[in-house]
Amino acid sequence: MRALLARLALVVAIAGCSSPTGLGPERVLTVQVASMKSMCQQWWGASECLLVRLDDADPWRPLLDGIVGFTHEPGYEYTLRVQEVRIEDPPADGFARELRLMRIVKRTAVPSPASGM
């Protein structure tokens, strides 16, 4: 009987760990990050934000909440693998999801327009 209870407890513990954050459904995305940031208007005022897209054919779009674990260096375009995590109970003035860096797939130097390259 103890062995059965121990196995049941183990199964419950593993099932509870299926989402590393416990925050809800997750998905993995590949995103491209532009070499320069943009000014974005948010409810509290203007701030710098990343420009991202999912594919070369997509237009660049502002990402207001950034990517957890990623530090942007101007002059480089990035291809990133990120985990999108839905936040179950976000604050009223917060976002309902967050992107978390899994790994940098590619980092490419982009010549600045002033360099004439």
**Per-residue pLDDT reduced to its tens digit, 7-50:** 333 333 323 333 344 444 689 999 999 999 998 876 667 788 99
- Any domain includes 15: no
Which two structure tokens, joined as six digits, stand for 84?
């999108």
Q: Which domain holds residue 47?
A: 22-115
Q: Rounded CA gap, 26 and 100, in Å? A: 11
- Any domain includes 6: no
Q: Rounded CA gap, 28 and 31, in Å? A: 10
Position 2 scores a pLDDT of 41
- Any domain includes 65: yes
Domains of the chain: total:
1
* pLDDT (tens digit per residue) in 74-112: 999 999 999 999 888 777 666 778 899 999 999 999 987
- Any domain includes 3: no
Position 65 scores a pLDDT of 85
